[in-house]
Amino acid sequence: MKGTLRNTYDGCHVSVSTRPGGPGVLWVPVPEDNLGKTATHEVGHRFALFYVLDGFDYDGEGDLIDGTLVTKVATVGCPPSQHSCPDQPGLHPIHKYMDHAKHTCLSEFTPLQEEGMYRSSNTLWIGR
């Protein structure tokens, strides 16, 4: 509701260490984590997107969005391709903002992720 404490603090927190040119964070060395894409990833969560690796078995639902392949492990670095689910067709979505690849590798949301964010913005924050 408008005027409530919840509405006042409704948002997303991102460390200033991950801003473009920032020092990075302890668990990801610079320059892999200081291109500003952490904010893009975290805002994706704010708009109801899950990690592409949610569903830690090969039969999991992944990020619950059709068209994003099931991924068992997070992408490390920026490999040309990755495939951790041999029983599933296709390669990992290594360029998706909702993975944990190196920032130079992250470049896209899928069209269905974009649609999901649009829909969540029209339903989660009505009246704010």
pLDDT tens digit string along 9-36?
667 777 777 778 777 766 665 566 778 8
Residues 6 or more apart whose CB falls under 8 angstroms from that of 109 comprise 44, 49, 96, 97, 98, 117
Catalytic residue among 32, 42, 61, 114: 42
Summarize pLDDT for 36-59 with one digit per residue, the tens.
Answer: 888 898 889 888 888 877 555 555
Category of 58 on φ-ψ map: left (φ > 0), alpha (ψ -120 to 50) or beta: alpha
Contacts of residue 37, Cβ cutoff 8 Å, sequence gap at least 6: 97, 103, 106
Q: Per-residue confidence at 109, pLDDT binned at 50, 70, 90? A: very high
42 is catalytic: yes
pTM of the model: 0.75
